Amino acid sequence: MEPLKHAVSPVGVTGLGSDDKDAISDALTSCLPRLIGARQLYLGFSGGLDSRVLLAALMRLAEHYPHYQIKNKLTAVHVHHDLNAQADAWAEYCQCVCQSYQINFICEKVSLNLSQLSSGLEAAARTARYGVFKKFMQESDLLLLGQHGDDQIETVLLQLFRGAGPQGLAAMAKESQFSADDDRIVLRPLLELKQIDLAHYARDHQLDWVHDDSNDNLRFERNFLRHQVLPNLHQRYPGLIDTVGRSARLCAEHNELLNAYVQEDLVKHLTHQGQSNVGNNYLNLNLNNSLCSKYCLSLFKLAGFEAYSLARQKALIRAWLAHSQVLMPSEVKLTHLIHDVCLAKVDAQPMLTWGHWLLRRYHGHLYLFDQQQDDSHHCCAYHLQEQTWGGETVTLENGQVISSQHLVDLGVDLAHWDWQGVTIGLRQGGERFHPQGHPHSQPLKKFLHAQKIPPWLREQLILVKRDQKTVAILGLALAAQGE
């Protein structure tokens, strides 16, 4: 195991006397109402300086206020990323510290999702950690993290260098929800303190901690800022943590107001699939029986969108994508999305991809697809050669099953159904169809357009023919009697 900083055993804790007050104890005491109100407390415990100091300060607070049972409801969670040769030793160290404090300890090993590494190792590791925290936390539980003011400055600078807007520059909040749809709370009690404050606390209280040598690698942007940039900035601007923290809070306030404003717009444009007039017959199908795969992740109604200013259009599209929990496209992609997809000619059928997301436009709506989960945006998600059919079960290559029940669902009385000359197969183009209630047949393309079936779905429709006349479109329509 790599030598620990100040390698001594954790010392016994004492009460918070008047001579023993410090900034870190004050920061924890100010959070006391939150700690008391939480059902259970979880602490992200890497064993590094930040989380080690936070744990020690929590233990001192627990001894000073024993009647609040802070110690009894605290669990330290160590996430083993398996990225360093010392990772096992760090996990063992964390367990020993928690045993010395007699608190609950969880060590969870994770494997990073390689598909997430495109967003960076740090982001992938953070996603994995939060996945572990969510696994154990319940509603009304509180997660404590040891991030401090220098972490905040690094985050703001990194976001600034990446060209982020108010949301990115808001960086970390002292208190926040896990996400917009997850109201479990994350608390960062040390966010307004310098890292040097934590180092002094560790020295004064004879704490030890593990040192991750990857934090010394200047190849990583955050480490470069930490070791090469921040020392000079602190020397030149002594109040840097306060001023950058204030800017981050102002950006957060601005972003909160913007979100409240844009949500009013979003309600007008957000279309639930069951309420859409687009492809309504298709959308109302029972997907368990439908022969088409999952429709799309989200629908967005474009009516009135062109009248907005560009800034309002961008804010609205961002809000929709955030609501759909989609990776935000770059500024260039977003501009392209608005000009070349949202505002394209009425008869155009544009599309745009970024990451594994795909966006299409049809009949005044945007259709959003996750290409990792859904293949219905393809021209043909399965193949089916035209073949004679007598109602027997046919399994498609995507696992969906065709049976005579699909005819029953369309209102066919199988007892009087003539199977002579019946075939099934995919739409080929050029077919005609005689809808019920219409005096004459019409091109199938015209019928599908009237039904507002998006073009990329039309080639997936399975036609039932009798003597080469289309008598049914499975999952959609039955021809007029006599066909």
Q: Which amino acids are annotated as binding site for ATP, given as ranges?
A: 46-51
Q: What angle do CA 448, 449, 453 make, to 5 degrees?
A: 65
- Compute the distance between CA of residue 27 and CA of residue 467 in angstroms, rounded to an integer: 81
Alpha carbon of residue 311 to chain centroid: 24
Write the single-letter amino acid at 392: E
Question: Going edge to edge, which strands form the sheet with 182-187?
Answer: 104-109, 74-80, 41-44, 142-144, 182-187, 175-179
DSSP H or E run through 107? strand 104-109
- The structure tokens listed for 478 are 């039955």
Pick the closest to residue 56 from 250, 166, 174, 208 (CA basis): 208
- Compute the distance between CA of residue 44 and CA of residue 188 in angstroms, rounded to an integer: 11
CA distances from 153 to 172, 241, 334, 346 (A): 10, 7, 27, 47
- The string over 421-436, giving b where at least 16 C-beta atoms fall within 10 Å of a residue's C-beta and e elsewhere, is ebebebbeeebbbbbe
Report yes or no: 410 and 477 within 8 Å, Cβ to Cβ: yes
User: Given CA atoms 164, 170, 171, 176 in this order, what sign does their dihedral have?
Assistant: negative
Q: Concatenated DSSP letters for 426-453?
A: E--SS-EE-BTT-SS-EEHHHHHHHTT-
- Per the annotation, where are the binding residues? 46-51
Alpha carbon of residue 191 to chain centroid: 24
- The structure tokens listed for 394 are 């046919």
Q: What share of the chain is helix, strand, coil (3-state, %, to 5)?
A: 40, 15, 40
CA dihedral 243, 21, 42, 198 (to 10 degrees): 50
